[in-house]
Amino acid sequence: MYQSLGGQSVSVSGLAVLPVSGLNLTPTVSAPVVSKTPSAPSAPSVPVKKKVVVQSSDDESDDSSTDDNKTSNIAAAVTSVTPTPVVVPAPTSTPTPVPVPVVTQTPPPAPAPAPTPTPIPAPPPPAPRGMYTDGTYTGVVADAYYGNVQVQAIISGGKLADVQILQYPNDRSRSISINTRAMPILRSEAIVAQNANVDIVSGATDSSQAFQQSLDSALVQAKA
């Protein structure tokens, strides 16, 4: 290999010489061996015998011995320097914040309203029992002096609904006149009173008493 050194071509046998440019080399001062690694001691400089073939002009032959010394010192300095390891800082990883799940509390569902019970209507009270049993009842024939009186009681809904006159004294014109006036009055009073206790009609005492007797016997049959 040929190395340009100080304007000269230098061939170093068995040694790779790196190009050094801009170095201020002084033949009388040896380059110190600097070890930048505290844990490994610097290797001692071992003089290397090299065969230097200098191809130059005649005016440069006097400087060949000086160039040999320079080359030896450069080679020793190059081989003895241990490169400083470059410490690459480990990448600092920023922890990614883990999102905290937000727990939403769902309120419990409102209880369903209790069904409102449907009121059961109370059965209607039984109809009051009437005084009489429904039907038609015929009373006895009662004597009215000038004739006989007989009535028939008609019961509906347990009540005296009507009184029918079956017979009354009518053989004389006066008897007919008295009874046609008295019988309707006695009938109306009996229905209102719901019994045979009616007032005596003036002028028709015998007919009134016979009416009471006949109607009373009919209602006795109709009583429940």
What burial class does residue 112 get, using C-beta atoms within 10 Å of its C-beta: 0-12 exposed, 13-18 middle, 19+ buried?
Answer: exposed
* Domains: count for the chain: 2
Answer yes or no: do 76 and 140 share one domain. Answer: no
Answer yes or no: do 217 and 150 share one domain. Answer: yes
Which amino acid appears at position 53 of this protein?
V
Residue 87 is predicted with a pLDDT of 66
Distances from the Cα of 145 to the Cα of 70, 150, 168, angstroms: 192, 13, 11
Q: Which two tokens stand for residue 58?
A: 């005649």
Answer with the one of 40, 56, 80 that is the final residue of a domain. Answer: 80
Answer yes or no: do 146 and 216 share one domain. Answer: yes
pLDDT higher than threshold 90 for residue 190: yes
Q: Hey, which of 4-8, 25-29, 205-209 has the most confident mean pLDDT?
A: 205-209
Answer with the one of 43, 62, 80 that is the final residue of a domain. Answer: 80
Segment 113-143, tens digit of pLDDT: 788 888 888 876 665 567 899 999 999 999 9
Mean pLDDT score, 3-32: 46
Answer yes or no: do 152 and 216 share one domain. Answer: yes
Tell me the residue range of the domain where 140 lies: 135-222
Query: Which of the four pLDDT bands, split at 50, 70 and 90, describes residue 222?
Result: very high
Residue 100 is predicted with a pLDDT of 72
What burial class does residue 78 get, using C-beta atoms within 10 Å of its C-beta: 0-12 exposed, 13-18 middle, 19+ buried?
Answer: middle
Phi and psi at 188, nearest 5°, equal -65, -45
Q: Which two tokens stand for residue 216?
A: 């009373």
- Note whether residue 126 is domain-resident: no
DSSP-H helix ranges across the chain: 64-80, 173-193, 205-222
What is residue 138's three-state secondary structure? strand
pLDDT higher than threshold 50 for residue 34: no
Answer yes or no: do 210 and 146 share one domain. Answer: yes
pLDDT higher than threshold 80 for residue 197: yes
Answer yes or no: do 139 and 215 share one domain. Answer: yes
Answer with the one of 59, 80, 101 that is the final residue of a domain. Answer: 80
pLDDT higher than threshold 70 for residue 86: no
Taking a C-beta distance cutoff of 8 angstroms, is the pair 146, 171 a contact? yes
pLDDT higher than threshold 90 for residue 200: yes
Mean pLDDT score, 38-62: 47
